[in-house]
Amino acid sequence: MTRSPQDSGLTGRCCLCSRSRILQSTMTPTDDSNTFDTVTCSGLAVSHSPDLDGGGPRTWPHFIQTVRRHVGEQVNHAFEWCAGPGYIGFALLGAGLCNKLTLADINPVAVAACRRTIEQNGLADRVTVYLSNNLADIPDSERWDLVIGDPPHFREALPRHIERGFELRSVDPDWSIHREFFRTLTPHLNPGARVLISESRVAGNYDDLFTHMMTEAGLELVEPIWELPEMRRYCLLGKWGG
C-alpha cells in the first residue's frame, strides 16, 4: 500500500515544518521509472538515484553481517525506518534474513523507487512500502520482528547540507525524528523483536542520548556494536521483551 503526499496529509501534518519546506522545495514526487538507476543489493536490483543515497549502497553489507552475527536466524517480518530506496531492507530480503519486509520514508521519490523495485522483482506479496513521516502513516496492524534503520545523523543543518541538498537525508532537527520514532515504535514490535539502528560519530558523540531513548522506550540495550570505525559508524541493538 502506498499513499500520495496529499492522502497522507504529509505536508499539512508534519510536525517538523522544515521537513515540509525541504520536501516541497527539493523533491518532485514522481513514479517515472526512467529516472532511476539500479544497484544490486544481495542479488536484488534496487532502484535508486544519487540524490536518494544516504550511504546504503556502501553500508548494506555491514547490516547483513551484523544481523547474521547478532540476530542469526531468519525473522518473519522486518521493517526499515528512514528507508530511502530500501537498500538495507531489500538486502535483508535478498539474503534470506527476513520473510516479509515493510519500508517507509517521508520522501515520495524514495517511495516511488521502492515501488519500482517491488514491481521489477515481483515482490508485491512480500514487501509493503509507506509514504510516512516517521511511523505516523503506518497502520497499527503492522508488527515487526526486526527493525533496521539508518536515520539522519546531524541534529542541525550545516551549510554544506543546505547547499548540496542533503538536508532531508542528513538532518534530524534537535533529534525530534529519533525521539518520535522511539516514542511510537514499540506497539509495532512482536515479543523478542530486535531493533538495529546505525548511528554516526561524525556529528558528535550522542551515545548516551540514543541509548537513553532506547531504554526509555522499553528496549533492552544488547550492546553497542562497532561495525564501521573507518566511517565512524556504529550500530545500537535493542531487544523488545513484549
Closer residue to ligand SAM, CB minimum distance, 55 or 94: 55
Least CB distance from residue 148 to ligand SAM, whole Å? Answer: 9
Measured in whole angstroms, how far is the alpha carbon of residue 115 from the centre of its chain?
15
Closest CA to 122 of 94, 142, 95: 94
Q: How far is the CB of 166 from ligand SAM (least distance, A)?
A: 9
106 binds ligand SAM (CB under 6 A): yes
Q: Any idea what DSSP says for residue 172? A: -
Q: Where are the alpha helices (DSSP H) in 102-233?
A: 108-120, 159-163, 167-170, 176-185, 207-216
Minimum CB separation of residue 16 from ligand SAM in Å reads: 6
- Using the contact rule CB under 6 A, the part of the chain among 33-41, 84-92, 93-101, 204-212 near ligand SAM is 84-92
Residue 134 touching ligand SAM (CB under 6 A): yes
Per CB under 6 A, the segment of 29-37, 120-128, 149-157, 227-235 that binds ligand SAM is: 149-157
- Contacting ligand SAM within 54-83 (CB under 6 A): 54-56, 59, 82-83
Mutual orientation of helices 176-185 and 207-216 as an angle, nearest 10°? 30
Count of residues engaged in binding ligand SAM, rule: CB under 6 A: 23
Residue 238 in the binding site for ligand SAM (CB under 6 A): no
Told to check if 227 binds ligand SAM by CB under 6 A, we report no
What does the buried/exposed string (b/e) look like for 75-87 if buried means 16 or more CB atoms within 10 Å of the residue's CB? bebbbbbbbbbbb
Query: Would you say 64 or 192 has its CB closer to ligand SAM?
Result: 64
Grid coordinates in use for 71? Answer: 540476530
Q: Which three cell numbers stand for residue 9?
A: 496529509
Region of residue 138 (phi > 0: left; psi between -120 and 50: alpha; otherwise: beta): beta
Residue 66 C-alpha cell reads as 551484523
Q: Which residues bind ligand SAM (CB under 6 A)?
A: 19, 53-56, 59, 82-84, 87-88, 105-107, 110, 133-134, 150-152, 168-169, 177
